[in-house]
A and B are shown apart, each in its own frame.
Chain A
Amino acid sequence: MAAVRYACRDGWRLIVRHWGMSLLTIFTAMSVFFIIGASTLFVLNVKNIVSSLENQLTIQAYLKPKADAKATEKAIKELPFVKETKLITRDMALERLRSRIGEQAKAVMLLGENPLPESFEIKVKNVSQVAETARLLIAIPEVEDIVYAGRVAEKLARVSSFVEKFSIIMLLVAIAASGVVLFNTIRISVYSREEEIGVMMMVGATSTYVALPFVIQGFILGITGALFASLLLGGTYYSAVTRLKEMLPFIPLIESTRLTGKLAFMLICCGATVSLISSLMAVEKFIRKASKPL
């Protein structure tokens, strides 16, 4: 018990004595865990968008310029899964465009005539029918093109899976980098006490006793870095979400505090693990060398 108290006091002393190095280590750990957290949030959000897009039951079918809207509507209504259809006239389309991009929509009118095609908004009953309905719609001669969320989602999903793979590699590199920095910091403080450790081992200190202050030092540095990263990330993320929501209200962003809380918890655990492992490795390596008899 006294040993643990001694080790905590000593771990703290080590941090204070090498304060420049400690700050640098905390800063590195913080940057690494911030990057890890930020890319996790990015991937989670993309996934969230993908799944919300996939769940949209609407298909937009654009008509050829000379197509007969009435006849087309009839053809569409005969398709098996169609629940409802709604005609979007050229004027309505222009109106929508205007509400989305504002005054710039006027540019479209510079050509003289409204160039937007007529279209139908088609709803199906459930998600599994979207792709099949899309295939049938494109077969209708009057239909020029179709757009549905699933198709966007597919593309987005492909991007997201690439980002995911890439960020996993990045994460491993980042974690390794923070591990190396922690390892070196601990090694430097171990060497700064080489003499003391030598005497300690001569008077019968166990390896655990020798190692503990350094492990505590590393642990505090790693945890502090991860904690700061979580706070910074939380602040940045929520202010970014608030702004994005004003700018792009139709994009569903994750706002659940439970999820971000979990992420912070994960980051801190990760910081604890990395710092424990790297400081243990640094001290153990030294002790093994120091306790090797001549």
Chain B
Amino acid sequence: MEIKFSGVTKIFQPDIIALEDIYFQMEKGDFVYLVGETGSGKTTLLRCITREVVPTRGQISVGGNLLRKINRFNLALFRRDIGVVFQSFLLLPNLTAFENVAFVLEVMGLPPREISDRVSEVLKLVGIWRRRNLFPPQLSGGEQQRLSIARAIVSGPSLLLADEPTGNLDNHTADEIMQLILGINAAGTTVIMATHNEYIVDTYTHRVVEIHRGRIVRDEEQGRYELHGSC
């Protein structure tokens, strides 16, 4: 899905400037790292794409949809085509791992047989098939992360937004998660990944967009992690 931000500014009440005059563009199938220190506006930018946040000024277009104009029903359909790995997972604690993923497809109204096939497949892909009947609090951090990735990709979205998907994971587990995400990207899904993980960004080099205090201060192909904004 192609994405275009034109002069996007977001001011939270009363006067927190979370994003300022953002111009940003990516094409279908691209992979972008979003880097910047905590509070720089990475999560806000991702939430603009899912329209959880509406900019104070500026236009955002995602996959041909002008987000300012979209109605409630079309927003629902639009979101089905976006997978989100939330910074805080947002797994439902009273559903099993399996149900947490199946839930997404139930929402889309798929028949039960197909749901169970696709959920099984994706749980095997992320490597937690054997843990499918456990509840999220019974899973380790890495497993919860995998589960939230499984939920994000089970519907085969055109766009994957991952908000610090390797946060709090050791390098080895982070590598495995990264392999997963790169695999999804290789299959044609556009990916934006907000991250603090220097090791990952420098190992699997891709386009890097750096935000500093709500402004884009760097946008380079095959970039490195090292933050420029702070100097």
Whether B107 and A204, one on each chain, are in contact in the complex, defined by CB atoms closer than 8 angstroms, is yes
CA gap between A197 and B81 in the complex, in Å: 18
CA gap between A154 and B90 in the complex, in Å: 71
> Cβ of A202 < 8 Å from any Cβ of B?
yes
Give the distance to chain A from B113, nearest Cβ to Cβ, in Å: 10
> Cβ of B217 < 8 Å from any Cβ of A?
no
On chain B, the residues within 8 Å of A3 by CB distance are: 106, 109
On chain B, the residues within 8 Å of A196 by CB distance are: 92
| B interface size (C-beta, 8 A) | 30
Whether A294 and B76, one on each chain, are in contact in the complex, defined by CB atoms closer than 8 angstroms, is no
Give the distance to chain B from A206, nearest Cβ to Cβ, in Å: 5
The tally of CB-CB contacts under 8 A between chains A and B is 63
> Cβ of B112 < 8 Å from any Cβ of A?
yes
Q: A204 and B54 in contact (CB under 8 A), knowing A196-B92, A291-B72, A294-B12?
A: no
Of the candidates B50, B77, B108, the one whose C-beta lies within 8 Å of that of A202 is: B50
> Cβ of A205 < 8 Å from any Cβ of B?
yes
- Additional pairs, 16, CB under 8 Å, beyond known A2-B112, A204-B77, A293-B54: A1-B109, A2-B109, A2-B111, A6-B106, A199-B90, A201-B79, A203-B79, A203-B80, A203-B84, A203-B151, A204-B78, A204-B107, A204-B108, A205-B76, A206-B76, A207-B72
CA gap between A294 and B12 in the complex, in Å: 8
On chain A, the residues within 8 Å of B54 by CB distance are: 293-294
> Cβ of A209 < 8 Å from any Cβ of B?
yes
> Cβ of B170 < 8 Å from any Cβ of A?
no
Whether A203 and B103, one on each chain, are in contact in the complex, defined by CB atoms closer than 8 angstroms, is yes
What would be 24 A-B contacts, judged by CB atoms less than 8 Å apart? Answer: A3-B109, A196-B92, A198-B90, A199-B103, A200-B103, A201-B76, A202-B50, A202-B52, A202-B84, A203-B79, A203-B84, A203-B103, A203-B107, A204-B76, A204-B79, A204-B80, A204-B81, A206-B76, A207-B73, A209-B107, A291-B75, A293-B51, A293-B53, A294-B53
Q: A203 and B73 in contact (CB under 8 A), knowing A2-B110, A293-B51, A294-B12?
A: no
Whether B52 and A294, one on each chain, are in contact in the complex, defined by CB atoms closer than 8 angstroms, is yes
**Interface size range on A against B:** 20 to 34
On chain A, the residues within 8 Å of B103 by CB distance are: 199-200, 203
Which B residues from 34 to 78 make CB contacts under 8 A with A? 47, 50-54, 72-73, 75-78
> Cβ of B104 < 8 Å from any Cβ of A?
yes
Chain B residues in contact with chain A, CB under 8 A?
12, 47, 50-54, 72-73, 75-81, 84, 90, 92, 103-104, 106-112, 151, 155
Which of B52, B92, B107 has most A Cβ within 10 Å?
B107
CA gap between A249 and B104 in the complex, in Å: 67
Whether B52 and A203, one on each chain, are in contact in the complex, defined by CB atoms closer than 8 angstroms, is no
CA gap between A6 and B77 in the complex, in Å: 19
> Cβ of A195 < 8 Å from any Cβ of B?
yes
On chain B, the residues within 8 Å of A2 by CB distance are: 106, 109-112
On chain B, the residues within 8 Å of A293 by CB distance are: 51-54
Give B113's nearest chain A residue, CB to CB.
A2
On chain B, the residues within 8 Å of A205 by CB distance are: 76, 107
